[in-house]
Chain A
């Protein structure tokens, strides 16, 4: 590292310490001791009261109930981002890849990733389906689910996944279907005389005496599948060998 960079680093660090000392002495930026009124409203009403979401997990009830429309359009941004990525990487026609599976990594890695991928799917399902009770939810569960195919791609190859039926076309179709169901859950209260995306009292909060917090459970489940499959499609596209794209580009240039 060049000595100039060390000097810059030391200057920045010293400035941070001096600014922190000055603000502490003058009490410019005191740390808050109370929750803001809006946050306190959510804390009080997430399970009790008239504006309840019937969920003890306050963050999930904000994400999918109080601020549900925000999240809905963020899911749309997610959909467009992944669709954009797949459009940039599209292949003109379906290439039949005759490349043989070279065998992947060693037996130890293969066996370990076999066990781990099953465990990852189980843990991610637990994160997503208990999202209305404990920290977690569809977003986190979906990203955790996408690690399992990534692990299999790394240890075996993408052909091992495709041989067992998980092609990117299937992943995209499953993702779009679950997003469609998510929109059905959104629109269903409107058709029955409630507001758009209303949770209580339209959706039952308990299912066979198990707390499912109305629509929060369905949103978490559908979002879990959508995001897991979206990232799986991205990983499958990213693992296509580079030679295929080179041929494709050379054919386009001609």
Chain B
């Protein structure tokens, strides 16, 4: 019972973090803070995918064959976690880091050109004739 309660706490904490990070992306005018919220969002999604692949059993094993012996296979399958979410997250982490690098490069360049990272001031400077 207590395990299931902790499981549910983790689940709702992930959902709450997703909500807070979306709020940060939408509400904060500072581009750097938007990027920080975006990285939190990406990491939370990765944790959620890992969370989906978990099994609530004991003992639990990583998805690596302990020995190359067909007789040990059944025992391994009954203990190991789902490997597919881990494989997705593995690539998603590195790709997410590269895309974050690209966004960081863009923000630095925006700062060099406009002298600010505030989204409202950037719009004012880029389109002076438009009224928001």
Contacts and interface: CB of A to CB of B under 8 A. Distances in A.
Are A and B subunits of one complex? yes
Interface of A: 12, 15-17, 19-21, 23-24, 27, 29-36, 38-40, 42-44, 46-48, 56-59, 62-63, 67, 70-71, 74, 77-78, 81-82, 84-85, 88-89, 134-135, 137, 139-140, 142-143, 227, 230-231, 234, 245-246, 249
Contacts of B86: 59
Contact of B91 (A33, A40, A63, A245): A63
Is chain B's interface secondary structure helix, strand, loop, or mixed overall?
helix
A59 B1 CA distance: 31
Contact of A33 (B20, B57, B93, B101): B57
Given A33-B55, A234-B101, A139 B112 contact: no
Given A30-B4, A88-B106, 5 more contacts: A20-B11, A35-B80, A48-B73, A81-B99, A142-B94
Interface residues of B, number: 50
Interface of B: 1, 3-5, 7-9, 11-13, 16, 20, 53-57, 62-65, 68, 70, 73, 76-77, 80-84, 86-87, 90-95, 97-99, 101-102, 105-106, 108-109, 112-113
B82 A23 contact: no
Contact of B87 (A20, A44, A67): A67
22 contacts: A15-B16, A19-B12, A20-B11, A24-B5, A24-B8, A34-B55, A35-B77, A36-B82, A42-B63, A42-B83, A58-B80, A62-B84, A74-B91, A77-B95, A77-B99, A81-B101, A81-B102, A85-B105, A88-B106, A89-B108, A139-B93, A230-B98
